Amino acid sequence: MPADLPRLKPRREGPRPGTGIVHLGLGAFFRAHGALYVAEAMAVSGSDWGIVGVSLKRPDQRDRLAPQDFAYTALELAPGGEVPRIVDVLAGVLVAPEDPEAVVALMAAPATRIVTLTVTEKGYCHEPATGRLSLTHPDIAADLADPARPASALGFLVRALARRRDAGIKPFTVLTCDNLPHNGAMLRGLVLELAERIDPALSAWIAAEGRFPSTMVDRIVPATSPADLDHVARLIGCRDESPVLHEPFRQWVIEDDFVGGDRPDLGASGAELVADVAPYELMKLRCLNGTHSSLAYLGYLAGHETIADTVSDPAFSAFLDHLWADEILPGLTPPPGVDLAAYAARLKERYANPAIRHRTWQIAMDGSQKLPQRILGQLEEGLAAGRPMSGLILAVAAWMTYVGGTDLSGNPIDVRDPMSERLRALCDAAEGSAAKVAALLALREIFPASLAGNTAFRTRLVEAHAGLAGRGARTMVEACHA
Q: DSSP letters along 143-184, please?
A: HHH-TTS--SHHHHHHHHHHHHHHTT-PPPEEEE-SS-TTHH
d(CA 442, CA 453): 9
Q: What is the pLDDT of residue 191?
A: 98
Whether residue 355 contacts residue 417, with contact meaning beta carbons closer than 8 Å, is answered with no
Strands 215-218 and 251-255: antiparallel
- Residue 8 belongs to some domain of the structure: no
Q: What is the pLDDT of residue 1?
A: 46
d(CA 279, CA 233): 41
- Residue 470 belongs to some domain of the structure: yes
Question: Are residues 289 and 244 part of one domain?
Answer: no
- Residue 205 belongs to some domain of the structure: yes
**Listed residues 253, 274, 295: the one ending a domain:** 274
Question: Are residues 303 and 267 part of one domain?
Answer: no
Whether residue 19 contacts residue 206, with contact meaning beta carbons closer than 8 Å, is answered with no
Query: Residue 85 is part of which domain span?
Result: 19-274
Question: Are residues 248 and 140 part of one domain?
Answer: yes
Whether residue 94 contacts residue 25, with contact meaning beta carbons closer than 8 Å, is answered with no
Question: Are residues 303 and 230 part of one domain?
Answer: no
Task: Give me the sheet containing 81-87, strands edge to edge.
Answer: 81-87, 72-78, 244-246
User: Which string of b and e fits 165-183 if b means at least 16 CB within 10 Å?
Assistant: beeeeebbbbbbbbbbbbb
Question: Are residues 189 and 331 part of one domain?
Answer: no
Question: Are residues 289 and 235 part of one domain?
Answer: no
DSSP bridge partners of 244: 74
- Residue 422 belongs to some domain of the structure: yes
CATH number at residue 400: 1.10.1040.10
- Residue 171 belongs to some domain of the structure: yes
Q: What is the pLDDT of residue 10?
A: 85
- Residue 3 belongs to some domain of the structure: no
Q: What is the pLDDT of residue 3?
A: 58
Number of domains in the chain: 2
Question: Are residues 107 and 32 part of one domain?
Answer: yes
Q: What is the pLDDT of residue 46?
A: 85
Q: What is the pLDDT of residue 2?
A: 54
- Residue 147 belongs to some domain of the structure: yes
Question: Are residues 351 and 443 part of one domain?
Answer: yes
Question: Are residues 370 and 265 part of one domain?
Answer: no
Cβ count near 63 (within 10 Å): 14
**Listed residues 243, 274, 305: the one ending a domain:** 274
Pinpoint the alpha helices (H) of 26-129. Answer: 28-32, 34-45, 60-65, 100-108
CATH number at residue 32: 3.40.50.720
Question: Are residues 34 and 159 part of one domain?
Answer: yes
d(CA 464, CA 301): 13
Q: What is the pLDDT of residue 366?
A: 96
The contacts of residue 168 (CB under 8 Å, 6+ apart) are none
- Residue 126 belongs to some domain of the structure: yes
pLDDT in tens, the chain (482 residues): 455 799 998 877 778 889 999 999 999 999 999 999 999 999 999 889 999 999 999 999 999 999 999 999 999 999 889 999 999 999 999 999 999 999 999 999 999 999 999 999 999 999 888 889 999 999 999 999 999 999 999 999 999 999 999 999 999 999 999 998 899 999 999 999 999 999 999 999 999 999 999 999 999 999 999 999 999 999 999 999 999 999 999 999 999 999 999 999 999 999 999 999 999 999 999 999 999 999 999 999 999 999 999 999 999 999 999 999 999 999 999 999 999 999 999 999 999 999 998 999 999 999 999 999 999 999 999 999 999 999 999 999 999 999 999 999 999 999 999 999 999 999 999 999 999 999 999 999 999 999 999 999 999 999 999 999 999 999 999 999 77
Q: What is the pLDDT of residue 128?
A: 84
Helix (H, G, I), strand (E, B) or coil at 21: strand
The contacts of residue 139 (CB under 8 Å, 6+ apart) are 125, 151, 152, 155
Question: Are residues 291 and 231 part of one domain?
Answer: no
Which has the closest alpha carbon to 401: 300, 315, 265, 311?
A: 300
d(CA 127, CA 29): 23
Q: What is the pLDDT of residue 377?
A: 94
**Listed residues 228, 244, 274: the one ending a domain:** 274
Question: Are residues 266 and 283 part of one domain?
Answer: no
